[in-house]
């Protein structure tokens, strides 16, 4: 594991003999560290790509949150609905950390700049990691100008299978989530969540026909394909259990309305900026747990209404990875990598 600033990362390295490889930087989700993307690594050079798999704070190799940050997390946990100002400051700092990491990495590694359909950087946030991407988009106007002009490298930004609540989209009235299931002992909820979120689901074509709880028997939940030692290396209960940083951020981001605010200000900027033409790709998997298709339908409606009303909107596209579940990077890594690298307008047939 390498480290740059406060963040640790895995790096497949520059593609031998290539002067126009694309760097793909990925931010992981709730409880799962960067090793969960390791099946993408052997494919990188074949697709002229360099993978940079980032561990967020509080995950192995990256800095733990300091005492002041822990105090903020505790205040969030004690009053999630009233925590918007606290969590906004907290997430703005996380956006700055991500920005600084990318700028330092570009400078240190001298990666190729974007040149049409080659080179440059694709920034990806998976699942709960998408909230760190909307925080980044929200903060763009306030981020500093450095010797490295990040915009010259950015090919696209991808929100990879985000749950609806990560974008501030309300859950249905009859929603279900194992982290909130009183029938499950609190210390067992992180693993129950992992079984639930790694399943394959057969959904209908209306909100009422979304399967909330029970995945199909085959394909079986992805977590059952992990060897025990593999799972121990990539899933970390500390941040997700009682008193954990991810759990505090998840609950406060939803209850305070900040997730919706970051999405709105990130997707619908008050003024045009140099990032206005960068593609923001919303990549969803149609056999994921119900929160993902529910959020996709809601976002599509929101985008249609925003554009019809003439609202300033970033270059947002919605792309489906049919037949995939929330762990396409583990069960179908090659197809996922193609979906991350495909140019806008060339995603049909994924």
Contact by Cβ (8 Å): 23, 48: no
For the segment 324-328, the average pLDDT, to the nearest whole number, is: 98
Tell me the C-alpha distance between 350 and 338, whole Å.
Answer: 8
Q: Band of the pLDDT at 329, cuts 50, 70, 90?
A: very high
Tokens of 134: 């909307």
Q: Band of the pLDDT at 346, cuts 50, 70, 90?
A: confident
| pLDDT tens, residue by residue, 25-62 | 999 999 999 999 999 999 999 999 999 999 999 999 99
Edge to edge, what strands does the sheet with 7-11 contain? Answer: 2-4, 7-11, 49-55, 22-27, 121-126, 154-160, 279-285, 315-321
Q: Specify the CATH number of the domain 2-341.
A: 3.40.50.1820
Tell me the C-alpha distance between 33 and 60, whole Å.
Answer: 8
| pLDDT tens, residue by residue, 291-307 | 999 999 999 999 999 99
User: Structural domain boundaries of the chain?
Assistant: 2-341
| pLDDT tens, residue by residue, 81-93 | 888 999 999 999 9
Rg (CA), the chain: 19
pTM: 0.95
For the segment 231-255, the average pLDDT, to the nearest whole number, is: 91
248: nearest Cα among 56, 93, 75 = 75
Range in 34-43, 122-131, 195-204 the model is least confident about: 195-204
Q: What is the mean pLDDT of the chain?
A: 94
């Amino acid at each position: 594991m390498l480290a740059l600033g406060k963040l640790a990362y895995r790096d497949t390295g520059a593609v031998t003999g290539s002067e126009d490889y694309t760097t793909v930087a990925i931010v992981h989700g709730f409880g799962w560290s960067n090793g969960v993307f390791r099946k993408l690594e052997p494919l990188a050079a074949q697709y002229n790509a360099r993978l940079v798999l980032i561990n967020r704070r509080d995950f192995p190799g990256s800095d733990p949150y300091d005492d002041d940050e822990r105090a903020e997390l505790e205040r969030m946990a004690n009053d999630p609905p009233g925590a918007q100002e606290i969590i906004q400051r907290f997430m703005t700092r996380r956006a700055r950390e991500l920005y600084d990491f990318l700028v330092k990495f570009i400078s240190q590694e001298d990666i190729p700049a974007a040149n049409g359909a080659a080179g440059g950087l694709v920034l990806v946030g998976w699942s709960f990691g998408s909230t760190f991407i909307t925080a980044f988009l929200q903060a763009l106007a306030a981020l500093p100008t450095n010797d490295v002009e990040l915009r010259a490298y950015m090919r696209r930004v991808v929100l990879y299978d985000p749950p609806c609540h990560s974008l501030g989209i309300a859950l249905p009235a009859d929603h279900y989530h194992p982290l909130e299931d009183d029938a499950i002992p609190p210390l067992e909820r992180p693993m129950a969540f992992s079984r639930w979120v790694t399943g394959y689901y057969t959904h209908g074509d209306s909100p009422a026909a979304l399967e909330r709880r029970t995945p199909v028997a085959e394909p079986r939940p992805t977590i059952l394909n992990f060897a025990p030692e593999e799972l121990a290396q990539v899933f970390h209960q500390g941040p997700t259990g009682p008193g954990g940083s991810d759990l505090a951020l998840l609950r406060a981001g939803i209850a305070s309305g900040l997730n919706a605010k970051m999405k709105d200000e990130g997707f619908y900027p008050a003024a045009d900026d140099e990032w206005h033409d960068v593609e923001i790709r919303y990549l969803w998997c149609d056999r994921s747990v119900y929160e993902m298709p529910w959020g996709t339908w809601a976002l599509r409606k929101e985008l249609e209404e925003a554009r019809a009303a003439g609202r300033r909107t970033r270059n947002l596209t919605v792309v489906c990875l049919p037949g995939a579940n929330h762990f396409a990077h583990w069960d179908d890594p090659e197809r996922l990598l193609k979906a991350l690298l495909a140019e806008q307008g060339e995603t049909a047939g994924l």
